[in-house]
Amino acid sequence: MMKNLDYFMSYEMSELSALANKYGTDKGTNNSSDHGYMTIYDLVLSPLRNSPISFVEIGVFHGKSILAWREYFSHAKIYGIDISKDSLNKINGIDNVFPIQANQENREQLLSFAEEHGPFDVIIDDGGHSNKQQQISFACLFPYVASGGIYIIEDLDGFYDVNDQYIQEEDDDSFLMLYSLGMNKCLGDTAYHMKKEEVEYIENNLYSVGLYSGTSSELTTSSGMYMPRSAISAHKTIQWTSVIRKI
């Protein structure tokens, strides 16, 4: 169960934030450019901390967040998915961590992985961040999230190109898709990269959606949503993450 919003607003340094800072992942609060997502994740994920969960993170990069997750979830089986062999080599040989090479917008590769290793208690998409990548990964993997499990999509406002330069999206399909899903239990008109049956499965198996800015302290609730009050007008200027819970 999520802790109340007063707790969230008064919590200065969660244990997950401390681990993120220890390992240097941008989910922490070491630098002004860091996202600060771990404070939110600590509230959501702490009930699972001592359980033997199955955990997936898409987007390994330097492996820093994988190390933080491994220390936090000491009993978990952790899968790190990346298209890059160099990134996967950074987590190769770590106990209870399993590197998986896959392209997150390749349905066949994602489904092959999920069918072999699922179901999963937590999936975090910190991959390429394009709308297409986010939507295809969500469509393919959400059916393999365990009942009551959590699917997280990070950095909804842009993506990285081949030179690791952060690119602002011209449209905000994934953000608006999740906003619609949370408010109306409907993915809306911006789920361009999903099949009809994928859309129906998500809508029929959704418990709740939360959209969060790691740097925002003012939250409001509506129809299961947790959002900063100026969400729609300001969402292009701040970093967003989402927490999607399955029934």
**Residues classed as catalytic:** 129
Spatial distance between the Cα atoms of 88 and 108, rounded to a whole number of angstroms: 20
Residue 73 CA to chain centroid, in angstroms? 16
- Amino acid at position 138, single letter: F
Q: Which residues pair with 150 in a beta bridge?
A: 122, 245
Spatial distance between the Cα atoms of 12 and 163, rounded to a whole number of angstroms: 34
Task: Decide: helix, strand or coil at residue 77.
Answer: strand
Task: Report CA Rg, the chain.
Answer: 17
Residue 83 CA to chain centroid, in angstroms? 17
Residue for token digits 């969060």? 212
Spatial distance between the Cα atoms of 64 and 88, rounded to a whole number of angstroms: 12
Spatial distance between the Cα atoms of 13 and 18, rounded to a whole number of angstroms: 7
Spatial distance between the Cα atoms of 126 and 123, rounded to a whole number of angstroms: 10
User: CB-based contacts of 177: which residues, under 8 Å, 6+ apart?
Assistant: 135, 187, 188, 190, 191
